[in-house]
Chains A and B, each alone.
Chain A
Amino acid sequence: MRALRLSALPLATVLLAGAAASQMTQSEQAGKTPVRLVVFEDFMRPT
């Protein structure tokens, strides 16, 4: 069983992480056409 700790991560932080990833995605798509298609995977637990 994997050990996950959520206690140090309140909802506001989860939302911040998600927003940061989404914003970064948009700017990367607009500015670059990479040869490598980078896949960014985010495992979260919405509360």
Chain B
Amino acid sequence: MVFLEQHVDFPMGKRISRWWAAYNSTAPAYLPLVMVDSGHRISSGSQNDFKATYRALVDAELARPPQGEIEAYTRRVGSRMRIYARLRNAAGAALSASGNDAALHALVWEDNRVGVTNRIVRAAPWVGVSPDVPPGGEFTATLETSDLPSVNWSALHTVVVADCLPGSGPAYDMLQGALAEPAALAADPQTITLAFDANTLEDRAVPVRLVGPYVLNWTAVAGVPWIAVTPDSGSISVQPALEVRSGMLSPGWQQGVVTFSASSEDGMSFAQTIAVSAFSGPRVVRVGTATAARGSTVSVPVEFSALGDENALRFSLAFDPAVLSSPSVSLGSDAGAAVLTTDTSQAAGGHVAASLGLPAGQAFDQGKLQLVVVSFSVASEAPGQAVEIIWADQPVARQITGATGGALTTTYLDGAVLLADAPIVRAPRRRIAAGGR
């Protein structure tokens, strides 16, 4: 809530008329005159327990939902305060200066003990809502104080409120209030990081939210050819999207900057930048290569070069059961919160399967991750110099699922166990399955 004091003999704007409208009597009124939300509730005179009385007023108002949304900005112009406000009517009725005396007020106060408390209203310019604003409609206005001499500008603040006569009784009601912020341009997000699967090269669009005084118009300039901004200019109510053109990316990481410049006819000028980092490369899941002595056990890592949008993996591995046996799968060092499920039902036939999933909506970090480790017993009489471990689809078909659902394209690279007393024969084969897998 916002607490504000005014001198009853020198009231600013039309605020005190709201109290009298709610009082609606010719009987004498005793100070202090207190109201919340433009007179929806009032109090006057001495109270046995001021705090309890005032708290009851405020608590009753806090329980009511607002009937509007307000966005407000302030800017010092010489010795005046200029206020830019946007009101969206969320009430069930139209707002109309002529119909229900709807108005927008800017209450400019100073944190200073001028009267009794530490806050004093210095100005309260207002404007009637005209033309009429239907439910769901918007009203924008620029308000300005008169000259404000002898104020501490660093202690000035503004709250913008909208009120009207709701039609049930003589009292006004406030739709909503909002603290005004210093006029500026803000862009959200300020940084964007994207990774692209080089196997598919799908463009990606990232919505950007620009906010600032309603009088601003903006233009956008991308510093690199692989980013486009659509649209590239507009009023502050027009929200753009950054489109990253994956086909123009170089392999690996690259950085770009988009600059938004905004200005108004009354002299404001702002700039904001969004930093974009993009990675282009294949999504790769790889069975490692390990060396083991015959008759021992061996652990083979499964590594994942993730693009940062993957939620789950499932796969099967095939191996020569005459050489490798008793497979077991455990979580790797980078598995995080993933849950592992294994299937060794076909181990005797040379197959083992695993499923690894993060909670819904989460994704693995971008980068090289060790997700699981598969351990085997190596036969003491194993023939040959190496045994392959290759990707398979039995008993579980291989698939990588995105955080937003759907299968993701992936390159699968096989691995091997080198038998200790034998030199390396050849590197693992690279396989890309049909359909880009």
Contacts and interface: CB of A to CB of B under 8 A. Distances in A.
A36 B161 CA distance: 11
- The bracket for how many chain B residues form the interface is 35 or more
A25 B1 contact: yes
Interface string B45-59: 111001100110110
Contacts of B62: 28, 32, 34, 36, 38
Interface in A2-47: 2-6, 8-9, 13-25, 28-29, 32, 34-46
- The bracket for how many chain A residues form the interface is 35 or more
A18 B33 CA distance: 11
A39 B45 contact: no
B4 A40 contact: yes
A30 B87 CA distance: 27
A14 B30 CA distance: 11
Contact of B47 (A17, A19, A24, A43): A17
Contacts of B66: 35-37
A47 to B, nearest CB: 9
Given A8-B30, A9-B31, A43-B19, A36 B2 contact: no
Interface string B119-152: 0000000000000000000000000000000000
B192 to A, nearest CB: 29
Interface in B171-209: 174, 176-179
Contacts of A3: 26-29
B5 interface: yes
A5 B387 CA distance: 100
Contacts of B7: 43-46
Nearest to A11: B116
Given A8-B46, A9-B46, A39-B174, A22 B118 contact: yes
B30 A20 contact: no
Contact of B116 (A4, A15, A39): A15
A47 B394 CA distance: 90
A8 B65 CA distance: 37
Nearest to B50: A20
9 contacts: A13-B46, A18-B32, A25-B1, A37-B2, A40-B2, A42-B32, A43-B8, A44-B32, A45-B7
Interface of A: 2-6, 8-9, 13-25, 28-29, 32, 34-46
Closest 3 CB pairs of A and B: A20-B50, A18-B116, A37-B177
Interface of B: 1-9, 11, 15-16, 19-20, 26-38, 45-47, 50-51, 54-55, 57-58, 61-62, 64-66, 107, 115-118, 159, 161, 174, 176-179
